[in-house]
Amino acid sequence: MQDAPPAAGSSTAPAENAVALADVAVPVPLPRALTYLVPDKLAASVAPGRRVLCTIGSRRIVGVVVGLRQGEAPPKAKPLLGVLEGVDLPEDLVTFLSRLANYYLAPIGEVVRLALPPTDRETARAVEEPTLFSTAKGVAARKVQWVIAEGAVETSIKENASRVLSVVRAHGALPLSRLQDQFGGARGTIKRLVEQGLVRVEEREAPRDPFFADKLERDVPPEATEAQQEAAATINAALEARGSGATLLVHGVTGSGKTEVYLRAIARAKEQKRGSIMLVPEIALTPQLVGRFRARFGDDVAVLHSALTQRERFDMWNRLRSGEVDVAIGARSALFAPVKDLGLVIVDEEHDPSFKQEEGVRYNARDMAILRAHQVGGVCLLGSATPSLESEQLARSGKATKIVLPDRARAQEMPKVEIIDLRRIGPGPTGDRRISVLLHRAIEATLAAKEQTILFLNRRGFAPSIRCEGCGELSSCPHCTVALTFHRRGASTAEGRMRCHWCEYEASMPLHCPKCNSDQIALEGLGTERLEETLKEAFPEARIARLDRDVASGKQVEKILDKVRAREVDILVGTQMVTKGHDLPHVTLVGVINADAALSIPDFRAPERAFQLLVQVAGRAGRGDSPGKVLVQTYDPEHHAIVHAVRHDVMGFFDRELRDRKELGYPPFSRMVFARVDAMDEKEALDAAAMLARAARAATRDGAGALEVLGPSPAPIAKVRNRFRFRVMLRSTSRERLRQGALAIHVAIGSLPRTVRASIDVDPVGAL
């Protein structure tokens, strides 16, 4: 990605009759920016990142300037009507957005929208009247007073005032209430500091943000372990270099102190007066994590999360833009935070698939983090206990520097992991073979010791399939080619319902098979809901909680985890929501109900995903003082993903999996592009996909890195919401060749009928 060519039009040799032109990203799904004439009276104020008023046809719209140049005016080019004050995007961000759009062949207008503050996105979408931020909702927020350091030089001030002043200066700005907490009678002192021009007081929106609800206690950074010191030295050297950018891969087991390493890196960037962005998977953005950042850096941390109101988001955006706040933390979209003088971009849990956006602009925030950091001569820090094979290969090929944190920071032992071979070990007292006798006994022992258990099962619902025992027919969704899942307690009814996990379809269980009329309908398989119920029967005295998308989203997740932390729960049952970086110190037993499930997905990345899930969930055990134990149930105990996960042997897994990928020509040894096509009419979808495949083939040439074009073929889930899905896969070892094919498809998509939807997915992640 680093060498993605810059967007077209950023520099052109001036022609004879050259005039000033602006390339403007407009909020319509056009592949490229539109070119407008820059009238003389606007010449001084038009700049990349500025919002401008322009016309498309007879509509007035607001666009963002992405490039300025001198050139021959295109025929029918119209002049810009005006430049809007207020929000503008920093120039480095505009360059980044242009490169991103170019790399993913995504419409620049949609890409720019990713970076505009929320209120402004609406303005940009529907301006008749370009009043700024008139759409901001919920503005009637509580105000608080902030104390802001001013430039004046102090002459003689009292000792107390001098202490207050130094704290304010250290932070740049602080809420008055915080100073009052810290220094009794600060109000009078501040009044005098204001009179001397040393600080000023300003009313600001109170953060109604749940992450900032609690009072803040500053922490004392722990003394770094030897490995952390080495990591810091490498990171600091990279930050000092300020060259063309560096990528560092922090590979450290869970609990090895990676977060502490990030905190130090951010502190160093701050010393250099540079800002930082830290991306985390949405689910890892917990009050616990944010608390650690606040404890280190105070409130000068912008936490960009989905629960913010538009006004709060806008406020955060402005504070970052002005440099008043220089650290942004958030899920993948925080990649577009307008951090001033950016120097560091961190991607925690960089292997997590949630960094890939799967709708709209299909970008991968992890890959783009590297691009964004390098573009500003900064450092990209990727961290994980189980790095992606892409990142590992970057390190092996010398494009990234690897930093290893081999041990847990607090000298706890790694949990013992044991395999339970379900082919040989029978069921426990529940009679359900998916709760083997060994797992059952281990749960009993953990309960007796008053410790906690996590059971991981990656299927939600009660039973993943419903089958007629008369004819063998599976109940499937009438709108999608997927089996229906049985949920005992639905959101809408207390009755059991069959539900589709791909659309909203829901139905009650049939009394008779629609095909053979048999009344023998069986619930097959085990979902988290059923597991919870079975355990409640087997361990009536135990307090059991469940964590999956059916019971928890957003803040509820944290509520359930708080209960676990408060030891109000003995057994936590859940989907991959339980595998993420939560620090649950009293969990000593982790059971993986079915390690094979993740391996059965038709995707070349299935072993990698399975391995990551197993290592991550195993890392939940023994985070406190008691050593942990992990039991992995499987029918396939020799599978390399399972064998290496059990031994905590990440390097062994890498060696084996990279060898397989190389042999089969999969990423990271090749690059892929999917063209995804869907339509209500199956034949129309297939014809369209075939047309795209032909276009790509016509663009191929033989020779090194020759482009492979595979398909069209039906997607693994061939129909979703009544739309038939096909895809064409492009693969090559040459980025250039691949791009030629993708561009050919990009052009061909333009001539598809409107009833067909088609998109290009560069570096696809999921196979479904």
Residue 501 near residue 479, CB atoms below 8 Å:
no
Tokens of 49: 């990142």
Judged by CB under 5 A, which stretch of 315-323, 496-504, 663-671, 686-694 contacts Zn ion? Answer: 496-504
| Secondary structure E strands in 353-483 | 379-384, 401-405, 416-421, 452-456, 465-468
257 touches, from ligand ADP, Zn ion, none (C-beta below 5 to 8 Å by class): ligand ADP
- What's the min distance (Å) between Cβ of 663 and Zn ion? 37
Q: What is the DSSP secondary-structure string of 637-702?
A: TT-HHHHHHHTT-HHHHHHHHHHHHHHHT-TTSSEEEEEEEEESSHHHHHHHHHHHHHHHHHT---
Rounded-to-integer distance, Cα 42 and Cα 65, Å: 13
In what helix (H) or strand (E) does residue 485 lie, and over which residues does it extend? Answer: strand 485-487
313 binds ligand ADP, rule: CB under 6 A: no
Residue 518 near residue 506, CB atoms below 8 Å:
no
Nearer to Zn ion, 62 or 521 (CB): 521
Nearer to ligand ADP, 252 or 622 (CB): 252
Collapsed DSSP state (helix, strand, coil) of residue 354: helix
User: DSSP secondary-structure letter at 210?
Assistant: G
- Name the residue among 351, 358, 311, 349 with its Cα closest to residue 329: 349
Nearer to ligand ADP, 258 or 311 (CB): 258
Nearer to Zn ion, 210 or 714 (CB): 714
- What's the min distance (Å) between Cβ of 258 and ligand ADP? 3
228 touches, from Zn ion, ligand ADP, none (C-beta below 5 to 8 Å by class): ligand ADP
Nearer to Zn ion, 507 or 516 (CB): 516
39 touches, from Zn ion, ligand ADP, none (C-beta below 5 to 8 Å by class): none
Kindly identify the residues of this chain, within the stretch 363-422, that bind ligand ADP according to CB under 6 A.
409-410
- What's the min distance (Å) between Cβ of 499 and Zn ion? 9
- What's the min distance (Å) between Cβ of 681 and ligand ADP? 50
Find the helix packing angle between 91-104 and 108-115, rounded to 10°.
140
Judged by CB under 5 A, which stretch of 96-104, 132-140, 473-481, 633-641 contacts Zn ion? Answer: 473-481
Tokens of 598: 């993740």
Residue 437 near residue 428, CB atoms below 8 Å:
yes
Burial of residue 243, with CB atoms counted within 10 A of its CB: 0-12 exposed, 13-18 middle, 19 or more buried: exposed
For ligand ADP, what does the binding mask look like between residues 479 and 518, x meaning CB under 6 A?
Answer: ----------------------------------------
Residue 111 near residue 28, CB atoms below 8 Å:
no
In this chain, which of 233, 516, 664, 768 binds Zn ion, going by CB under 5 A?
516
Integer angstrom CA distances of residue 247 from 322, 366, 377, 501, 710: 27, 11, 11, 38, 33
**How many of the chain's residues bind Zn ion (CB under 5 A)?**
15
User: DSSP secondary-structure letter at 610?
Assistant: H
183 binds Zn ion, rule: CB under 5 A: no
502 touches, from Zn ion, ligand ADP, none (C-beta below 5 to 8 Å by class): Zn ion
- What's the min distance (Å) between Cβ of 577 and Zn ion? 22
298 binds ligand ADP, rule: CB under 6 A: no
Residue 100 near residue 92, CB atoms below 8 Å:
no
Judged by CB under 6 A, which stretch of 159-167, 220-228, 352-360, 392-400 contacts ligand ADP? Answer: 220-228
Rounded-to-integer distance, Cα 96 and Cα 93, Å: 5
409 touches, from Zn ion, ligand ADP, none (C-beta below 5 to 8 Å by class): ligand ADP
Residue 331 near residue 354, CB atoms below 8 Å:
yes
Judged by CB under 6 A, which stretch of 247-255, 433-441, 515-523, 672-680 contacts ligand ADP? Answer: 247-255
Kindly identify the residues of this chain, within the stretch 118-177, that bind ligand ADP according to CB under 6 A.
none
In this chain, which of 224, 295, 643, 718 binds ligand ADP, going by CB under 6 A?
224
In this chain, which of 228, 234, 452, 575 binds ligand ADP, going by CB under 6 A?
228
222 binds ligand ADP, rule: CB under 6 A: yes
Rounded-to-integer distance, Cα 115 and Cα 64, Å: 11
Rounded-to-integer distance, Cα 61 and Cα 52, Å: 8
Kindly identify the residues of this chain, within the stretch 635-654, that bind Zn ion according to CB under 5 A.
none
Kindly identify the residues of this chain, within the stretch 248-287, that bind ligand ADP according to CB under 6 A.
252, 254-260
Rounded-to-integer distance, Cα 303 and Cα 328, Å: 6
- What's the min distance (Å) between Cβ of 225 and ligand ADP? 5
Kindly identify the residues of this chain, within the stretch 476-495, that bind Zn ion according to CB under 5 A.
477, 479-480
Rounded-to-integer distance, Cα 324 and Cα 659, Å: 48
Judged by CB under 6 A, which stretch of 180-188, 222-230, 661-669, 742-750 contacts ligand ADP? Answer: 222-230
**How many of the chain's residues bind ligand ADP (CB under 6 A)?**
15
480 touches, from ligand ADP, Zn ion, none (C-beta below 5 to 8 Å by class): Zn ion
The length of the chain is 768
470 binds Zn ion, rule: CB under 5 A: yes
Nearer to ligand ADP, 92 or 260 (CB): 260
Alpha-carbon torsion 274, 261, 244, 731, what sign?
A: negative
471 touches, from ligand ADP, Zn ion, none (C-beta below 5 to 8 Å by class): Zn ion
Burial of residue 678, with CB atoms counted within 10 A of its CB: 0-12 exposed, 13-18 middle, 19 or more buried: buried
191 touches, from ligand ADP, Zn ion, none (C-beta below 5 to 8 Å by class): none
Nearer to ligand ADP, 499 or 580 (CB): 580
Site residues for ligand ADP per CB under 6 A: 222-225, 228, 252, 254-260, 409-410
Site residues for Zn ion per CB under 5 A: 468, 470-471, 473, 477, 479-480, 500, 502-503, 505, 513, 515-516, 518
